[in-house]
Structure 1
Amino acid sequence: MNSADLHTATGAYVLHALAPAEEAEFERHLAACEACAQEVEELAATTARLGLAVAAPVPDRMKEQVLQRIATVRQEPPRVSARGRVRSWTRSLPKLALAACLAAAVTSGALAVWQHRAAEDARSQARQAEQQAADLASVLAAPDAKVSVGELADGARGTVVVSRTQDRAAFIAAGLPELGDGKVYQLWFNDGDAMRPAGLFSGAGAERAVLLDGRIDGATGMGITVEPAGGSPEPTTEPVGLMDFPA
């Protein structure tokens, strides 16, 4: 692999998708590349969370649905005499067994479908995370990448990396404070008279790098605000920081 390939192999390395020789080469590169080491650590944590998602418990309504299906199987009414009760119970056995089998089949089938969907969602999220990591690495390693560093609120600092040839920008933050429940950091492109949404940013504390969502498309800088979970179409609070893109 050449130098560019090494910087984009973080996702494949975390997923153990590299050939032995490539894996050894990447590990040598990893020992000397702080950015890739950080990216591998974050991707590994994401992969672990996705793995736990696949092993999630059975939905709460599963028991209720099974009991509803069992209740639809009509049973023989009890007889008055002991002999009659024995005969009634004996005749009910096949229906009870059928109900139990149907319930087991419904439960197993529903659980299998649910697990399959959960696994597909996890794989899709893993592929998206890997692609985002590759795009981020491509911007950070771009030959024309330019860097701008600035101070954010509460003593945090921000770094912007811009690649004009790729028309993309990355943001690296360090020291951002934790937010309360229902709040998230939101990134913005500064288009002069308007702020354009550029993705959500939940990382706080340690250094964290993200790729701004969308093309630079003439923006002169970026900002970061605190918004309600899910983000806002336009800023609703004073910016935590505003930074100009490097020329």
Structure 2
Amino acid sequence: MTEEEFDELAAGHALHALSDADERRFAEALAENPQWRDRVDAHAAAAAALAEVAPSVTPPAEIRAALLAQIAQTPQGEPQADPTMDALPEHPATDPVVSAAAAAPRRGWSRRLFTLAASLVLIAGLGVGAAVIVPQLLRSDEVVALDEVRGADDVQEATVEMDSGAEATAYWSEDLGKAVLVTAGMDDAGEGQTYQLWFVRGDTPVAAGVFDPEQGAATAPLEGALHEGDVIAVTVEQDGGSPTGAPTSDPILVIPTA
């Protein structure tokens, strides 16, 4: 079990929102990893703090109805589109940022919704704050990373068109040392293959993660720190990324940041 998966279980445990099966998984993981006890205590403290500031009230009908409708429309265990696109700045319908973020896969989506539903009684007690908190909880890590970079004072961007007609836009901030690539209309990498991101630093490629488009679109934060003058590149590699730590094919796109 990863630390991220354990965190989700610990949050549900603090809210008494886990199924019997997940409670067993939580207990077994904690027994195997006692060093994670601090995470359990932190989630318990957060739940207690929310309970103290939230008076006992019935959740507003409109929030409960909207949440239950979202749960009913979400196939459990399947990737889903981000339901909070209105949290992004306005763009034309053809903007690759909008289409990519809408198609970004949701990791652990069913558990997030389950935990969110269990948390509703706590959030509702915060009154109008629920209208802000609920969308924030539903936003994906990819969209959060994109918003962070695009909100930076020194944000820059560049768009390239690939031979296939697909477009890729890179957003980066040297102050933050972060970059995000957004694609639209991109073909699948192929059976047993994936796209790999690179920071090219002089003549040295530095691996920066892998991604797979969903219906041609992807929002892919680059792993690691962006350095001044880096070039962002993408190659096609085997599943999991290049086994050598260096590109095994020519880049299909290159975007200079200087």
Q: What TM-score does the superposition give when structure 2 sets the normalisation length?
A: 0.48
Q: Deviations over 1:39-75 (max 9, x none)?
A: 77446x515x6428xxxxxxxxxxxxxxxxxxxxxxx
Name segments (4+ residues, structure 1) moved above 6 Å.
Answer: none
- The structure that is helix-richer by fraction is 1
Matched with 1:160 is: 170
Distance change >3 Å, CA 38–CA 182, structure 1 → 2: same
Is structure 2 residue 224 aligned with structure 1 residue 209? Answer: no
The whole-number CA distance in structure 2 between the counterparts of 1:160 and 1:31 is 16
Aligned-pair RMSD on alpha carbons? 3.9
Specify the structure having the higher radius of gyration (Cα).
1
The whole-number CA distance in structure 2 between the counterparts of 1:39 and 1:172 is 6
Residue 159 of structure 1 deviates from its aligned partner by 1.1
After superposing the two structures, state which structure 1 stretch, 203-212 or 143-152, moved more: 203-212
Note the residue ranges of structure 2 that are not aligned, 5 or more in a row.
1-59, 67-82, 112-136
Q: Deviations over 1:110-138 (max 9, x none)?
A: xxxxxxxxxxxxxxxxx9x8444322210
Distance change >3 Å, CA 138–CA 192, structure 1 → 2: same
Calculate percent identity across the aligned residue pairs: 24
Distance change >3 Å, CA 165–CA 158, structure 1 → 2: same
Residue 196 of structure 1 deviates from its aligned partner by 0.6
Matched with 1:236 is: 248
Distance change >3 Å, CA 29–CA 190, structure 1 → 2: same
The whole-number CA distance in structure 1 between the counterparts of 2:102 and 2:86 is 15
Q: Is the 8 A contact 1:175 1:206 kept in 2?
A: yes
Q: Is the 8 A contact 1:153 1:241 kept in 2?
A: no
Matched with 2:199 is: 189
| Among candidates 136, 146, 170, match of residue 156 of structure 2 | 146
Residue 228 of structure 1 deviates from its aligned partner by 0.2
Residue 181 of structure 1 deviates from its aligned partner by 1.9
| Among candidates 77, 90, 106, match of residue 33 of structure 1 | 90
The residue correspondences of 1:48-59 to structure 2 (distance < 5 A) are 50-51=109-110
Note the residue ranges of structure 1 that are not aligned, 5 or more in a row.
1-18, 53-126
The whole-number CA distance in structure 2 between the counterparts of 1:161 and 1:31 is 14
The residue correspondences of 1:95-134 to structure 2 (distance < 5 A) are 130-134=140-144
Distance change >3 Å, CA 204–CA 239, structure 1 → 2: farther
Is structure 2 residue 106 aligned with structure 1 residue 46? Answer: yes
The whole-number CA distance in structure 2 between the counterparts of 1:33 and 1:200 is 28
Matched with 1:222 is: 232
Q: What TM-score does the superposition give when structure 1 sets the normalisation length?
A: 0.50
Distance change >3 Å, CA 224–CA 204, structure 1 → 2: farther
Q: Is the 8 A contact 1:175 1:204 kept in 2?
A: no
Residue 27 of structure 1 deviates from its aligned partner by 7.2
Matched with 1:124 is: none
User: What number of residue pairs does the alignment pair up?
Assistant: 152
Residue 165 of structure 1 deviates from its aligned partner by 1.2
